[in-house]
Amino acid sequence: MKAIARVAIGMALLAGTAIAYVQANGIPRFEPERVALSVAATPERVARGRRTAGILCAPCHLDRERNAYAGRAMSGAAPQFGVVYSPNITGDRQHGIGEWTDGEIAYLLRTGVARDGRYTPAWMPKFPLLADEDVYDVIAFLRSDDAQVRPAAVPDRPCEPTLLTKAYVTFVAGPLPYPRQPIVAPPPSDRVAYGRYLVTARLDCHGCHSRSFMGVDAMAPEKSVGFLGGGNPMRDARRQRIYGANLTPDATGLGGWSEADFRRAMKLGLRPDGRPLRPPMPLRPELTDDEVSAMWAYLRTVPAIPNAVPTPFPN
């Protein structure tokens, strides 16, 4: 009994020390690598980047009152993260990314580490598998004189991460590796492979639609806990609890849907029965019918997971 008591006391002291360390240090910092990169901001690349940023960045960073990527309160952030604000990513030199190099932007997008070493926790998607051309397009758009990314002198508001978030980033998560080889997207003609790329690498669907943010494997998405099986707790615009939907072909997921149902949900935000999808699920009107079709083709191939996700709608 004395030995058990000593072990219990030791574990309690260790846990207390870890908690005190996390509280004192907060979100850790890391030394960013220097990435030599210069993106040619051609009109064609800027146009593609505007579309891609509208899909990847706008749901979190676009302040719709200003119509600018000046950041905003993230009302739909998962409750376990704390109070979250997205940062200003306009060309403002003081409050935005006007002083950043192309390489620093690419490094943040892929690894989660900012130019000053700040690490963006789990609420900020990382794109380690995004094709190089897609990354370059986004950078070109952010560098452009488009009205949405022109300098906006809007200061960032500090986030208030929970102890769980701080501990997860300190002891479990960390910067993702910056790719050492070129990343090329599959050809759209290979519908399943291209659909997989869209779902896992570009749109990061598994981040919200697997079991939890903490169980997501960014480098090997299919190894995420409960991959695309839903159940991830989040908040809607009214701060009510909502769960990521099951996207697997099980009867509790998309098993009874048609491709037309899926297209309607993605582009119009409507379920097969006419009920609207709830935030934080964004609409994807920018997606082409071919892209939605490729995503559907891939989703039909993933392992089915029986998981009847609670509905946010009254009976």
Instruction: Provide the CATH number for the domain around residue 63.
Output: 1.10.760
| 133 SS3 class | helix
- What's this model's pTM, rounded to 2 decimal places? 0.86
Question: Which residues are registered as beta bridge partners of 160?
Answer: 83
Same domain, 127 and 232: no
Question: Is 35 domain-assigned?
Answer: no
- Per DSSP, 275 falls in state P
Residues 6+ apart with CB under 8 A from 135: 106, 109, 110, 127
Same domain, 122 and 150: yes
Same domain, 60 and 166: yes
Question: Is 238 domain-assigned?
Answer: yes
**Per-residue pLDDT at 281:** 84
Question: Which residues are registered as beta bridge partners of 242?
Answer: 234
- Domain finish residue from 115, 138, 171: 171
Q: Helix H segments across 145-278?
A: 163-171, 191-196, 205-209, 259-268
Note whether 126 and 110 are within 8 A (CB). Answer: yes
Peptide linkage before 151 cis (omega within 30 of 0) = no
Question: Is 68 domain-assigned?
Answer: yes
Same domain, 206 and 143: no
Same domain, 144 and 220: no
Round to whole Å and give the CA distance between 273 and 132. 39
Question: Is 61 domain-assigned?
Answer: yes
pLDDT tens sequence for the chain (315 residues): 656 555 555 555 555 555 665 555 667 888 999 999 999 999 999 999 999 999 999 988 999 999 999 999 887 666 677 788 899 999 999 999 999 999 999 999 999 999 999 888 766 789 999 999 999 999 999 999 999 999 999 999 988 888 777 777 766 667 899 999 999 999 999 999 999 999 999 999 999 999 988 888 999 999 999 999 999 888 776 777 889 999 999 999 999 999 999 999 999 999 999 989 887 788 888 899 999 999 999 999 999 999 999 876 554
Same domain, 47 and 162: yes
Torsion, Cα of 36, 42, 45, 47 (10° steps) = 140
Note whether 92 and 153 are within 8 A (CB). Answer: yes
Same domain, 162 and 66: yes
Question: Is 181 domain-assigned?
Answer: no
**Per-residue pLDDT at 13:** 52
- Per DSSP, 251 falls in state T
* Total count of domains within the chain: 2
Note whether 246 and 252 are within 8 A (CB). Answer: yes
Dihedral (CA of 119, 123, 128, 132) sign: negative
Residues 6+ apart with CB under 8 A from 260: none
Range of the domain at 57: 43-171
